[in-house]
Amino acid sequence: MDYEKDQPIQPMPNENENRGPLKDLLVFHELARALTSSLDLNAIPYTMLEYMERFIDAELWALLMVDHERQELYYVTAAGDKLSGLRDLRVKIGEGLAGWVAEHGETLIIPEAASDQRLTAVSQSHTFSVHSAIGMPIRGRKGTHGVLEIFNPNLDENSDYTIAFLHILVDYAAIAIENAQEVARAQLLTITDDVTGLFNARHLYEALESELATSKRESSSLSLMFLDLDRFKMINDNYGHLVGSNLLGRVGKRLRELCRINDICFRYGGDEFVVLMPDTSKNEAARLAKDVHASLSNSLFVIKEGLELNIGSSIGVATYPNDGKTSHEILGTADKRMYSVKSSGRGRVMV
């Protein structure tokens, strides 16, 4: 008892001075589990912002993902209601804060009142004044996937600690994104035709059921185009199956180019293709099918040096609800119309 009385009284810990290593360790553990267990690419950005807001006070947090094909970044989420003003904004790789971070793969911290052209570019594209900023790359084994932006952060004596936490956050996010992308690629392989790169027949029935349910719910039309290549067997007989497969692949790519962005293209089997046209009336579907038919017939496919081929098609079109109210009825009607064209001379569209 005497020993205990002789001990100095210890002050209560101040949370502002000591953020609690054990508590933060538990947060890190929770963050790691939340991110690395998620295989949903859409959920990862929101999980990131949820944990980030616990550690740093700022006017705006935003996350951009890299569009490698277009060499641009686009906003996927932002704290509060700020995303509405950023949703359509695209940032070129190399431009502004996010573009610089994506290009160099390095963290960029621009302090208060710093004169920096990258910050000026950011201010011009936002509806609020940007005084300082932090940009961090979400970088994994396969390169930079995105950029975390923090505008006007309120950094204090724990700023080094905070920055270290954010680095941990983006590292875990990169792992989560790559895991989710691998799963998405594996799932895509199960519904993709390896010859044409289009969706396969298995996915056709799933997509048709889904779009049909939407059409019924919204009282909208849904059209379907069933396309068969004319005299494709002659290609195989004259040039061999490798040339035939090559031609199918090129036809599939061309078909995708000729259709609208919301249309869904499938290889049904053999030399048969299906195009699903959501929210499309019979008249509009007829016009689209005739355009596809004419453009495909006029396309010249360079198979190899000295060998150029073109091929015609026969097309049947069906529309919900006039031509059927179920997936099998709609697909069956379009199929029958296509075969009717085949048996009466080929090379036209029947609606």
CATH classification for the domain delimited by 201-350, as one of 3.30.2090.10, 1.10.645.10, 1.20.1440.230, 3.30.70.270:
3.30.70.270
Q: Of 193, 205, 94, 88, nearest to 144 (Cα)? A: 94
Q: Does residue 3 register a pLDDT over 50?
A: no
Q: What is the pLDDT of residue 145?
A: 92
Q: Does residue 216 register a pLDDT over 80?
A: yes
Average pLDDT over residues 19-38: 69
Tally of CA atoms within 13 A in the half-sphere of 219 that contains its CB: 0
Does the bond joining 321 to the residue before it have cis omega, within 30 degrees of 0? yes
Which comes out higher in pLDDT, residue 311 or 27?
311
Give the pLDDT confidence of 227-245 residue by residue, as tens digits: 999 999 999 999 999 999 9
Tokens found for residue 79: 């704290």
0.85 surpassed by pTM: no
Which comes out higher in pLDDT, residue 234 or 56?
234
Q: Where in the chain is the domain with CATH 3.30.70.270?
A: 201-350
Under the banding of pLDDT at 50, 70 and 90, the label for residue 137 is very high
Q: What is the pLDDT of residue 4?
A: 42
126 Cβ contact list (under 8 Å, min separation 6): 60, 85, 86, 151
Q: What is the pLDDT of residue 231?
A: 94
Q: What is the pLDDT of residue 186?
A: 80
Percent of the residues in the chain that have a pLDDT greater than 70, as a whole number: 83
Average pLDDT over residues 9-32: 57
Average pLDDT over residues 281-295: 97
Average pLDDT over residues 24-53: 73
Q: Does residue 17 register a pLDDT over 50?
A: no
Q: What is the pLDDT of residue 325?
A: 94
Q: Where in the chain is the domain with CATH 3.30.450.40?
A: 17-190
Average pLDDT over residues 61-68: 88
Average pLDDT over residues 266-282: 96
CATH classification for the domain delimited by 17-190, as one of 3.30.70.890, 3.40.50.300, 3.30.450.40, 3.90.380.10:
3.30.450.40
DSSP H helical ranges for the chain: 2-6, 21-36, 44-52, 96-104, 117-124, 159-190, 201-218, 232-239, 241-258, 282-297, 327-342
Which comes out higher in pLDDT, residue 14 or 196?
196
Q: Does residue 188 register a pLDDT over 80?
A: no
